[in-house]
Amino acid sequence: MRYIIGNSIRKNTMIIGDDAMNKKNIIKAIAVVLAVVIVCGGAFGGYVLYRFNFNAPKDLVHSYEEIYNQNSITYDVGDDGKFTVLKINDTHFFNGTCENDKKTITDLKVILDKTPCDFIVANGDIVDGFNLVSDYDKYGGLKVFADLVDSYNIPWTFIPGNNDSEFDGENEDVIAYLMQYENFVCGNEKDVDGDMQFFVDLEYEGKLAHSLAIMDSNARTIKAIGKYDYIKESQINWLLDGIESRKVKTSVFFHMNTPAFKDAFEKGEAYEGFPSAYVYALDTITENKLFDEMTADNEYISLISIGHVHSNNMCHFYNGRFYQLSSVSGYSASHPDDLIPSCTLTVIDVTQENTKEMYHFEKIEA
């Protein structure tokens, strides 16, 4: 009996010992997993924080504060009374060296070579935004784009999009970086929301005949992940005050759409010969109804030109003005498979008083 009892005790002791060993092993495994998660999570979090807070190159020649030195610039219109604007938007350069970026640069060069123009508007999302890919290079993308555009010795500007400030510096950093280019022009006014606002005044036969208003439509309420922001009242007042002081027809350029674009698409008159989407492709930014309401009755606004919507183009005459939307200009931007990246040429005849007769719009492909 004692032998049997003793043997049972030894067996029970072995079982208890095995259970304790298994629990220790499980605890060790959990601890290792937690340690890996903490280390990886910390590294990932640190990387994200770095990407969100990374500043522009330290050797910048110019400071963003220089932008306040001017809030308008003036050009003379030629004898024919026409001023041409080439609009490039939503190129979404990733690093300047990937295959899609190379294709974009090749196409843009073909377009620039064959399209004489007086002014170039880089209308937002020139570089890609939110991503965690290690070979993303925002300033590499900006460099290949700016090097190309500036080489044509044509004045050009940049309008911030919703992606340009999401990673590796703010719009202010982008603008300061672009100031190094000889033909780049910019301006802003203090105490006005947004990072880029200025007028381009066009004189014909010694008199002001037309103006372009360059505006920032802002990005997101929370960088990269929040809902789309909207054009603020201070910006709209800046626009209206500038128009009132000039009293000439004005073409307004910014990146993101307003509710009136959907109304124009559904109720307006399509511009003949300009490709247009069959269905309006994007839900509207409802807060931008403030812009529509404050500018609806302005007799001088003759064109509102945007990008942002990665569908086909549209150009509709509605409420006494043109609403023009341009599709993507780059292969790194998401777009329908059957859509070829393009640019938009806008020809403004400053001798015309009738808004419908004032503009010619053309989609330009490589």
Residues in the chain, pLDDT under 50? 1-11, 13-14, 43-44
Phi/psi at 364 (5° precision): -115, 120
Which one, of 191, 285, 307, lies nearest residue 231 by Cα? 285
Cβ within 8 Å of residue 90, ≥6 positions away: 124, 125, 161, 307, 308, 310, 326, 327, 328, 329, 330, 333
Which one, of 90, 94, 104, 158, lies nearest residue 365 by Cα? 104
Contact 151, 184 (CB under 8 A): no
pLDDT score of 339 = 87
Sign of the torsion formed by the C-alpha atoms of 202, 317, 92 and 232: positive
pLDDT score of 135 = 87
pLDDT in tens, 305-335: 999 988 778 999 999 999 999 999 999 998 8
pLDDT score of 358 = 98
pLDDT score of 3 = 40
pLDDT score of 39 = 52
Which one, of 69, 141, 112, lies nearest residue 345 by Cα? 112
Cβ within 8 Å of residue 131, ≥6 positions away: 167
pLDDT score of 67 = 97
Residue 74 in tokens = 């003036």
pLDDT score of 40 = 52
Ordered DSSP codes for 223-239: TTTS-B----HHHHHHH
238 alpha carbon, distance to own chain's centre: 21
Residue type, 134: S
